[in-house]
């Protein structure tokens, strides 16, 4: 494996990774055991040199029944076959967020953390719609996801 200088690696990460990119982290350290986990970047590289992401889960049964109504605005369902990355029904849970700093990504990329592809604009639109309805995201997170900045753009003057 070729070692890329850290400075070049960080610059590449800042410019190459975008909102909607899907990454697989092999042997992700969970609460009880390690397992493979998918993460979807919700933002481009932010002002604080990091990416906001959400974890994807194939355990859709956890979001059915009485919990379904409670999490309706906090989840996005990706149906099987809707994308090549997820072969089974998959849930993106906005309550399970993680921030990846560029420096940390530069260290783990290639070592079990790799890009799998990106989501379609239609799925990204559904994510944005859930973000607008979310009750658990902070205003800063909502602005970062929707506008790419911690502050929203100024309102358009009405003529």
pLDDT the model gives residue 31:
66
Cβ neighbours of residue 27 closer than 8 Å, sequence gap 6 or more: 34, 35, 36, 112
CA distance 63 to 66: 8
pLDDT the model gives residue 157:
72
The residue count for the chain: 159
Average pLDDT for runs of 10 along the chain of length 159:
62 89 85 80 89 91 75 87 91 91 82 88 94 91 86 68
pLDDT the model gives residue 1:
46
pLDDT the model gives residue 4:
57
- Nearest Cα to Cα of residue 60 among 91, 36, 39: 91
- Nearest Cα to Cα of residue 101 among 22, 149, 148, 48: 48
Which CATH number, 3.40.50.720, 3.90.1170.50, 2.30.30.110, 3.30.470.20, labels domain 6-147?
2.30.30.110
Break the chain into its structural domains and give their ranges.
6-147
pLDDT the model gives residue 79:
93
């Amino acid at each position: 494996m070729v070692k890329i200088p850290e400075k070049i690696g960080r610059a590449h990460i800042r410019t190459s990774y975008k909102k909607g990119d899907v990454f697989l982290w092999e042997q992700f350290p969970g609460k009880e055991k390690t397992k493979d986990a998918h993460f979807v970047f919700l933002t481009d590289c932010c002002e604080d040199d990091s990416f906001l992401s959400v974890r994807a889960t194939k355990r859709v049964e956890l979001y059915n029944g009485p919990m379904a109504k409670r999490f309706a605005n906090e989840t996005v369902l990706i149906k099987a076959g809707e994308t090549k990355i997820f072969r089974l029904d998959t849930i993106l849970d906005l309550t399970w967020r993680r921030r990846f700093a560029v420096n940390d990504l530069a260290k783990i990329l290639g070592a079990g953390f790799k890009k799998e592809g990106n989501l379609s604009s239609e799925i990204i639109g559904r994510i944005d719609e859930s973000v607008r309805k979310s009750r658990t995201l902070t205003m800063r997170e909502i602005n970062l996801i929707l506008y790419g900045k911690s502050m929203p753009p100024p309102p358009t003057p009405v003529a």
